[in-house]
Every structure is written in structure tokens, then in C-alpha cells.
Chain A
Amino acid sequence: MKPNNTLTISILSGKGGVGKTNIALNLGYCMYRGGFPVMLMDCDLGLANLDVLLGVTPDTNMQSLLDTDTPADEVAFPIEPDGFDFLPAASGVPELVEMDSDLRNLLFQRLDPLFNNYEYLLMDLGAGITPTVLAFAAMTRIRVVVVTPEPTSLTDSYALMKVLSTQHNVKDFYIIVNQAEDKSEETSTYNRLATACERFLGFTPEFLGGICQDKMVPESVRKQTPLMKNAPNSRAAKDIFSIAVKLQKIKKSMLEDISKSIFTENTSDISN
């Protein structure tokens, strides 16, 4: 069997609106421009909006995989030619948010053949600690938790990590601090979260990078164009680029782990 080479990354946050979708999209874009095929999977099931950020309106979505015999590669929507694809989710489908393990297994079983074509599988998860979010996060090789300096964002992401570590025995996380005013706010935000984890949960999440507050981000959202394409020289774009480089290094160091299988063994013990 061909060894797996896809790195699965989930992008999560306790609190909503902290920048997950923007980060997933732009990290994906960076990696694609670096020559690595990327699949961007909208896992904010039920309230999907990656399509909005991309300004695209795909005809099919993951729901079609569950309802019909649509082949998986027909659901993948090309954002850029040769290697930047997007897997849309349905909006306004509450059943998807409450997906049970049978349905989840069915979904991934259908998608599995598709995933091998990519170097990166980026999963943009919904906010909160729903069973679906937890199950998806526990599956991926890498978990990136996005926080902002706001106290509510800190407590919510802490709660998320606590649930994942106590319920799913997942204890490795990377942190991105988004929308900090300056480097010192960025560092103090990360430090606060990291020391709380260390003290109460017994593990230290790793700092992946910071993305500064930048008005080019909302501007790109309005233009429905990735920031990396719309304003590649903006400060936020440079921050995201550094993070992408760092992830590529991490991927190299994990090659042996990944080669065995695309997801972690955590998939089997997901409880509802």
C-alpha cells in the first residue's frame, strides 16, 4: 500500500468569529502557492461559510455524499487550478451539526479515496464544543486552536482543550493568536493560556504564531478574495506566511507518523 502523505490539520476555537475560516483559507492558499496540493474542507457543518469567503457557489456539497451516490471527486470544488480544492458543506442543516458516529464514518469512508491526492487537508471547524467538533478535532494529526486576546476567547479555547484532553485524551495543540494589537499582547495571550494548561491540565500547547490585527483582512473578506491573493504584502499576510512555513517544517518532521494512516487512531473511540 502506498504510504500516506497527507497531513490533516483541524482549525478550531472555542469562541466563534475569532478568524478560523480566514486562517484556514489563507494557510491553504500559501501551501498551494508553495506547490503543495491542498484540500480545504468546510467542517463548520450546518453553518458553512467558506464558500462565501471564496465568492463561489458550488452546486453540490458534503450533504450530497450522504444523500446520493455523487462521487466524492464531484463534490470537490476547484478554487485554483491544479491543487487548491474546496469541499463545501451545507448551510442551515441542523442534522449535520448533530452528526452521529455512523454518519461520520459514512462521510469519511466516502471521502477517503479523495484525500490521498493532497499534501494538506485543512478542516475549518465550527466554534464550540459540539460532539461533531470534538470528534473531527480528535481525528486530525494536528490541531490548531485560534484565540484572540479577549478573555472570553481565552476561556472558551481553554474549555475546548480541557474537554478534548479529558474526554478524548488529546493533549497536543498548536496555538495561533489572532488579532493582537502588538507582539507583547500576542505573547502575553499565549503565555496566559499555556500556563493555565500546564498548571491545570498537565500539558503545554505549542505556540504556532501570531497574526496581527490588520484592516486588510476584513477588506479581503468583502472582496471575497483570499488575503494572500488580495494583499500579499500586508502585515497579516506575512504573519500567515510564516505560519505556513512552520507547518511545512512540522509536516516534514512528522512524515513517519503520517505515513501509516491519514487520521489518528482516535477515530474509533469517538463517543457521542
Chain B
Amino acid sequence: MISCFIYMQKRLHNIRTEGLENLTAELDQLRQLIVSHAQSAPIDMADQQLALTRLVPGLTMESWNKLSERFGLSDWLALDLDNSTYFNLANLQKIIEDLTHKSERDPLTGLYNKQAFEHKLSMELQRVERSNGQLSLAIIDLDDFKNVNDTYGHACGDEVIRTLADMLDASTRGYDHAARVGGEEFALLLPGAGPLRAKALMDRLCSMFADTLIKCSEAAIQCTFSAGVASLKGRSKATGKELFEVADKALYQAKNAGKNRVRVTRQLVEFEYDRSTMVHSNEKQFLFSGSK
């Protein structure tokens, strides 16, 4: 089975990296799908061919050629899309992007919605298992949010939510995922971050948010949040649901300890580690001495 991917170029400047961040993960997944599909496909399909296309706005043929040479991507076929000829195609891609964006986003904050976040989480979990890397999940809940709504009204409540959302969005790296997963509950997925790094980031956000005065009509509102962090490392079989549960417990502890703080669970996903294979000291002792 021969597959080729066609990259298309639309504009000369302003590469929109939004679609590109996830490209590696996407390609990784695609590769796996194709490999496992190829295994189950009958042999006489071997001369079937398919081209998969993807538009990459803002990439020039010139810079693609450089990339291609540098990273050995010569088996990818690039087509130069001039706007007039391929206008419809480019337009279609734009509509698809907009629709995807809409279905994935929370309308108030522009962050991922719960469903999209769960999808990201499951993809990142697969990636962690594959790469033996680390992953942290933070669940963030506004403290005494009901008071804000009761005192200042829902419009101001929304303003508080938007302010926190913007802060989450602005202070995280491009490959972190921020989502609004409930009314006043947010989640942050930090690929590559272990418990220490996740804690440092969350502590910073926590005090930054507590120090922020949120202006709404005549009032200046001060609000805080509590957060629970769960981390996992390597070949864990933990599911997204389990990770959520662990982070939720940590959040509960943060609330109990007086709010406006971050708790990282000690119960890493070590609980998923297979301890049965560990060699204990009595076994070693026995091997060294031969004594019973």
C-alpha cells in the first residue's frame, strides 16, 4: 500500500500554527492506524494507492523544499495552491476548520469543551505509554463562585470565568491543553510535565489569579481557585477517567485545607505500577548466600 500526503500552500506569510501543533500526534496516530490496517488488509490490495491531502496555510514551496531536504521528507508530495485555481478547496478546508473549532470549543471562554478535552487526554495517554514519558492533569475549581454570582450577578460571574480562562490560555505552552469542563471547573493537561513542574506552574497561576482584580460594571472582584494535580509516568495503563478521579481527590484536599491552593496527589499513578515483578531483598539475600 502506498500512501502519499500532499501538503498545500495558501499564503506567503503568517503560518497558522494552530493546526500544526497537533500534527505530530495526528501523524503518529495515522501511521499506527495505517500499519495495523495494512496487516489485516489482504495482499491483493497492495497496488491500491491513496493520496491524503492536508492544507498548510502560510507555507511556501520554497520553505517546504528546505524542510523536505533537511528532514528527509522527500516522499511527501507538495502541491502549490494558487488561490484562484484551488479557491474552493481552500475554502472547504476553512469551513471544516471552523466547524471543528466550533464543535470543540466552549462558547464563553474559547477553551476546549469537556468532550474535546477527553479526546485530547486519551491521545496524550497513548503517547505517554508509547514514549514512556510524563503527563500531568490539573483540575481547577473557582472558590466560592456561587457568592460571586449572588453578589455581583451572572454577567460578572461570566467575566470571572473568562478572566481565568484567558490566564490559563496565556500562561501555558503551545502543547498544553486547557479546557472548561464544568460551570466553574477547568482542566489543564500538561504533557511532559511531572508533579514538580505541574505544581510550580499551578502555584504560580494560583497566586497570580488571587492577585487579579476583575473589573465588572462598578465592582472590582477578587476571586481565588483551588486545584488538584495528578501525574503519571511511563507505561501506565491508567485511563483518562482514573486520572480525573485522582486529580479530583487532590482538588478535594485543596478545598478542605482552606482553598486558594494547589494539592498534588502523592498517589501518583504508581498505584498502576506492577510491583509483582520486583525482586525483594530476601530474594537477593537467598541468591547470594544460598541459605534458607
Nearest neighbor of A200 in chain B, beta-carbon distance: B283
Nearest neighbor of B33 in chain A, beta-carbon distance: A102
Interface contact A196-B277, CB-CB below 8 Å: no
A250 to nearest B CB, angstroms? 26
B38 contact set on A, CB distance < 8 A: 106
Q: Does chain A have a CB within 8 A of B85?
A: no
Interface contact B274-A192, CB-CB below 8 Å: no
Nearest neighbor of B283 in chain A, beta-carbon distance: A200
B35 contact set on A, CB distance < 8 A: 102-103, 106
Q: Within the complex, which residue of B132, B277, B283, B284 is in contact with A163, where a contact is CB–CB below 8 Å? A: B277
Q: Does chain B have a CB within 8 A of A162?
A: yes
A120-179 contacts to B (CB < 8 Å): 131, 151, 154-155, 158-159, 162-163, 166-167
A199 contact set on B, CB distance < 8 A: 286, 292
Q: Within the complex, which residue of B36, B130, B287 is in contact with A272, where a contact is CB–CB below 8 Å? A: B130
Q: Does chain A have a CB within 8 A of B290?
A: yes
B129 contact set on A, CB distance < 8 A: 272
> Are A158 and B279 also in contact (CB < 8 A) when A98-B132, A272-B129 are?
yes
Nearest neighbor of B237 in chain A, beta-carbon distance: A271
Interface contact B274-A109, CB-CB below 8 Å: no
Given A109-B39, A196-B287, 17 more A-B residue pairs with CB atoms under 8 Å apart are A98-B132, A102-B35, A131-B235, A154-B287, A154-B288, A155-B284, A158-B283, A159-B277, A159-B279, A163-B277, A167-B274, A167-B276, A192-B287, A192-B290, A195-B290, A199-B292, A272-B130
A154–B32 CA distance with the chains assembled, in angstroms: 39
Secondary structure of the B contact surface, majority rule: helix
Nearest neighbor of B32 in chain A, beta-carbon distance: A102
> Are A196 and B39 also in contact (CB < 8 A) when A100-B130, A102-B32 are?
no
B187 to nearest A CB, angstroms? 26
Top 6 A-B pairs, shortest CB-CB distance: A163-B277, A166-B276, A159-B279, A166-B277, A192-B290, A154-B287
A89 to nearest B CB, angstroms? 20
B208 to nearest A CB, angstroms? 39
A102–B290 CA distance with the chains assembled, in angstroms: 42
Q: How many residues does chain B have at the interface if contact means C-beta atoms less than 8 Å apart?
A: 21
Q: Does chain B have a CB within 8 A of A213?
A: no
B34-80 contacts to A (CB < 8 Å): 35-36, 38-39
Interface contact B277-A155, CB-CB below 8 Å: no
Interface contact A105-B39, CB-CB below 8 Å: yes
B104 to nearest A CB, angstroms? 28
A54 to nearest B CB, angstroms? 31
A152 to nearest B CB, angstroms? 10
A195–B287 CA distance with the chains assembled, in angstroms: 9
A192 to nearest B CB, angstroms? 5
Q: Does chain B have a CB within 8 A of A259?
A: no
Interface contact A155-B279, CB-CB below 8 Å: yes
A53–B132 CA distance with the chains assembled, in angstroms: 33
Interface contact B290-A162, CB-CB below 8 Å: no
Interface contact A151-B283, CB-CB below 8 Å: no
Interface contact A191-B290, CB-CB below 8 Å: yes
Q: Does chain B have a CB within 8 A of A221?
A: no
- A sample of 12 cross-chain residue pairs with beta-carbon separation below 8 angstroms, ordered by A number, consists of A98-B132, A102-B36, A131-B235, A155-B279, A158-B283, A167-B274, A191-B290, A192-B290, A193-B287, A200-B283, A272-B130, A272-B235
Q: Does chain B have a CB within 8 A of A261?
A: no
Nearest neighbor of B275 in chain A, beta-carbon distance: A166
Q: Does chain B have a CB within 8 A of A234?
A: no
A200–B285 CA distance with the chains assembled, in angstroms: 12
B66 to nearest A CB, angstroms? 23
Q: Does chain B have a CB within 8 A of A188?
A: yes
Provide the B250-292 mask, 1 if CB < 8 A to any CB of A, else 0.
0000000000000000000000001011010001101110101
